Chains A and B, each alone.
Chain A
Amino acid sequence: MKLYGAHLSPYFGRCYLVMALKGQTDAVELGDIPGGMKSPAHMAANPTGKIPYLEKDDGTYLIESQVIAEYLDAILEGDALVPEDLDEATHALMICRIIDTYMAPAMERFWANRGYSDEEVKKAATESLPAAFDYLEHFITGGKYLSGDSWTIADAALIPWLFHMEKFAKQHGVDGFGDRPKLQEWYAHVSQTDIVKDSMVRAEKSLEQLLAFLQKK
């Protein structure tokens, strides 16, 4: 199996974190997109032209980070990150969904290459992102993890965004999770873990690579 993409992508990061949290980072090969983003090979593998995508050993592909993450969780050894208990699983998956549907679009507005207007960026910083944080605050369990009392797929979904908060959202005046005690408590705990520290380092390195690549072009 081979996972295509780069660590700077929080969607790729979610899949990688599932492997890391299960202690299975060696189980899947990692690869750059053959021919680069939107190359014919990329579009053939994933018609949406996005990363990440997973190539299975039989040559078929899976797309969409959340789907890939759940698939890897199901087939790799290690602790289940989608809990076996239905209520617990539903909670964790709902948090992932809130991250994807409401938080990610706001956070993506801080990506310079997307060409958003100043007004759109400002709206993300002052309205949509704070609203999404409020919703997360409303739904998360509280404590050391986002859902229940151990790592789940929900943590894997949010952790990769921490780098983007630090690096990009901050520049637009978003100061961490603000006055939201449950998110703060989560952050205080996870930011001390190797899981998060390593994830920040991977993303930083990936950003440097991207900048070097863009400079060469």
Chain B
Amino acid sequence: MKLYGSSVSPFYERCLIALEMKNALDAVQYPGFPPGGMKSDAHFKGHPYGKIPYLELDDDTCLIEGQVIMEYLDGVVGGPTLTPADPYDRARASLIGRIVDTYIFPHQGKLSGNVIFGYQDPEGEQNAIEKGIPDAIKALERYIGDGPNVIGDSWSTGDAALIPYMFHAQLAKDAFGFDVLADHKVLAAWWGNVQDTAIVQNCMARMQKSFEYLQAAMAD
């Protein structure tokens, strides 16, 4: 199996961190960006929207959408399961990914887009900081448990979806002075619990490296 994409993408990185939580990073190959670059013919063949990530299976068919790929990898690769057994806990874990994708990133993307690609959307940025992201975090916090992990005391797909967002939250803090943890105690408590783990540190390092690589490429 080959996973295409780049770690600065939270949709890609959630698949990697999930694999690392399963001690199974080597179950998959990581060619990086699609052959020929983004939106090449090969890219569109693998992913009809020309997005990343996508997972090429051994029969040459492809899976798309980070959350779908992560859940698939959780099922197909050995190691501890990231899917809680209890149906409500399972729903909570998948809600975390859903809220990150549907309510946080449409807003966070304005901030990250500015930092990474230099996009300018002052109104969107302001709305993200004042309303979009705080509202989304409010919904998110309902489904984060007492810890140490999102659900109980083991890693789940909820942690895997939320941790890569924290890298982007840090970008927003550095560039805009927007500290999402200041007003969101439940999120902050969870982050306090997990941030020093090797899993999280490795994820942040991958994302930082990928971010710097992209910055250098943009500068060229």
Residues of A bordering B, CB below 8 Å: 46-48, 56, 60-64, 66-68, 70-71, 74-75, 86, 89-90, 93-94, 97-98, 100-102, 134-135, 138
A-contacting residues of B (Cβ < 8 Å)?
A: 48-49, 63-65, 67-68, 71-72, 75-76, 87-88, 90-91, 94-95, 98-99, 102-103, 135-136, 138-139, 142
- Return A61 CB to nearest CB of chain B, in Å: 8
Identify B76's interface contact among A48, A67, A71, A86, CB under 8 A. A86
A91 closest partner in B (C-beta): B63
Chain B residue with Cβ nearest A58: B88
> Chain B: which residue is nearest A132 at the CB level?
B49
Q: Which of B64, B87, B136 contacts A94 (CB 8 A)?
A: B64
Select one of A60, A61, A71, A90 contacting B63, CB under 8 A. A90
Q: Judge whether B63 and A67 touch: CB under 8 Å.
A: no
How far apart are the CA atoms of A61 and B99 in the complex, in Å?
Answer: 14
Point out the residue from B65, B87, B135 that lies within 8 Å of A97, measured CB to CB.
Answer: B65
For the complex of A and B, the 7 pairs showing the least CB-CB separation, nearest first, are A74-B87, A86-B75, A71-B91, A47-B139, A90-B72, A47-B138, A97-B65
Cβ contact within 8 Å between B88 and A56: yes
- Nearest chain B CB to A66 CB, angstrom units: 7
Nearest residue in B to A131 (C-beta to C-beta)?
B49
Q: A56-B88, A90-B63 are in contact. Are A64 and B95 (CB under 8 A)?
A: yes
State A182–B17 Cα separation when bound (angstroms).
Answer: 36
Interface residue from A70, A89, A101 paired with B65 (Cβ < 8 Å): A101
Instruction: Please name the residue on chain A nearest to B135 by beta carbon.
Output: A47
The B interface, classified by DSSP as helix, strand, loop or mixed, is helix
A102 to B94, CA, bound (A): 19
5 pairs of residues in contact across A and B, judged by CB atoms under 8 Å: A68-B91, A70-B90, A90-B68, A94-B64, A100-B102
Closest to B64 in A: A94
Q: Are B68 and A93 touching (Cβ within 8 A)?
A: yes
Residues of B contacting A138 with CB < 8 Å? Answer: 48
Residues of chain A lying within 8 A (CB to CB) of residue B71: 90, 93
Q: Which residue of B lies closest to A65 (CB)?
A: B98
Chain B residues with CB under 8 Å of A97's CB are 65, 67-68
- The docked-state distance in angstroms from the alpha carbon of A102 to that of B49 is 9
Contact between chains at A71 and B88 (CB < 8 Å): yes
Across the interface, which residues of A come within 8 angstroms of B72, CB to CB?
A: 86, 90
User: In the complex, what distance in Å separates the CA atom of A63 from the CA atom of B143?
Assistant: 10
Complex Cα gap A70–B87 (Å) = 9
Residue from B49, B76, B91, B102 within 8 A of A62 (CB atoms): B91
